[in-house]
Amino acid sequence: MIISGKELSARMKADMAAEVAALGTKYGRVPHLVVLLVGDDPGSVSYVTGKAKACDAVGIRNTTIRRPADTTEEEVLRIIAELNADEGVDGILVQLPLPRHISEERVIAAIGREKDVDGFHPLNVAALWMKQPCTLPCTPKGILRMLHTAGVELEGRRAVVVGRSNIVGLPVAKLLLDANATVTVAHSRTRGLADVTRGAEILVVAIGRPRFITGDMISEGAVVIDVGVNRDPETGRLCGDVDFETASSKASYITPVPGGVGPMTIACLMENTIECFRRKKER
Ligand code: GUN
């Protein structure tokens, strides 16, 4: 069975469109997301375009600020300070990765916590790990939503996360743990990785290597969530971290690439933007 992020995200966006329209009537303006893109990495440009399109579909006001790759860190911090102070801005997203001369850590920490729609700010990360109210990072949130919607039971089950990034691997492991799964975090240095992944009832793969996880590394009936967005080195087409052909004959549920986790990440970004707006208006 394929878990379609495309279909689920379309339903979420339709619901949010109605919600945003009602918020506009109630408060005299709609939520406003500002995306800052530094440089012209093709992947980042395409993500940012996707975000703007989704905002338009949901009715969220959106602004994209583009700056060249040689923009200084001071200039980026100045833009963020301005957006923090702007009452008409509800969410700020700085597209990652940033050019190497700019500290992602300093930039993320500079975003006002209450406008951090990515959930990357240190205070939001701390709140997640302490089970306090927080903005959840979009990709992990989208993954948990897909599992829930597909009716996948997590409690007491063996989940393996391949990848340990701050954006996906670590927070998704924490959310699975909070759902009472038994979680193993594996990564590029894990010895006997295939034995570890074969032990998974739920397998989340976010390692960033095309078709890295093959059918023989998956146990019969596992639920497979593929977070990868790669170019297939042979065909040049978009592909995941999981080899869909061999994996889908073993899995009970699997997410495709494209049309799986990606659209859910964007839908959850829309949700987070609405949440930030509501918290501001309703506090
Ligand atoms: N680059 C890749 N994924 C993400 C994300 O979720 N948020 C931001 N800001 N940049 C990214």
**pLDDT tens, 234-245?**
999 999 999 999
The one catalytic residue among 118, 226, 241, 243: 118
Q: Which residue's alpha carbon is nearest to atom 1 within ligand 1? A: 96
- Given 13, 51, 141, 174, the catalytic residue: 51
The reply to whether ligand 1 has any atom less than 6 angstroms from the CB of 238 is no
**Ligand 1 centroid to residue 13 C-alpha, Å:** 19
Predicted confidence (pLDDT) per residue in 75-131, tens digit: 999 999 999 999 999 999 999 999 999 999 999 999 999 999 999 999 999 999 999
3-state secondary structure 43-90: HHHHHHHHHHHHHHHHCCEEEEEEECCCCCHHHHHHHHHHHHHCCCCC
With a cut of 90, say whether residue 283 has pLDDT above it.
no
Whether residue 68 has pLDDT greater than 90: yes
The enclosing H or E element of 33 equals: strand 32-38
Determine the 3-state secondary structure of 18 from DSSP.
helix
Q: Could you read off the pLDDT of 231-275 as tens digits, one per residue? A: 999 999 999 999 999 999 999 999 999 999 999 999 999 999 999
Question: What would the pLDDT profile of 165-200 be if each residue is shown by its tens digit?
Answer: 999 999 999 999 999 999 999 999 999 999 999 999
Q: For the chain, what is the mean pLDDT?
A: 97
**Cα 95 to ligand 1 centre (Å):** 5
Check residue 213 and report its DSSP letter: B
Rg (CA), the chain: 19
Q: Ligand 1 centre from 139 Cα, in Å? A: 9
- Model pTM? 0.97
User: Is any ligand 1 atom within 6 A of the Cβ of residue 94?
Assistant: yes
Q: Is the pLDDT of residue 67 over 90?
A: yes
Ligand 1 contacts CB of residue 96 (under 6 A): yes
Residue 144 has a pLDDT of 98
| 225/260 Cα distance (integer angstroms) | 8
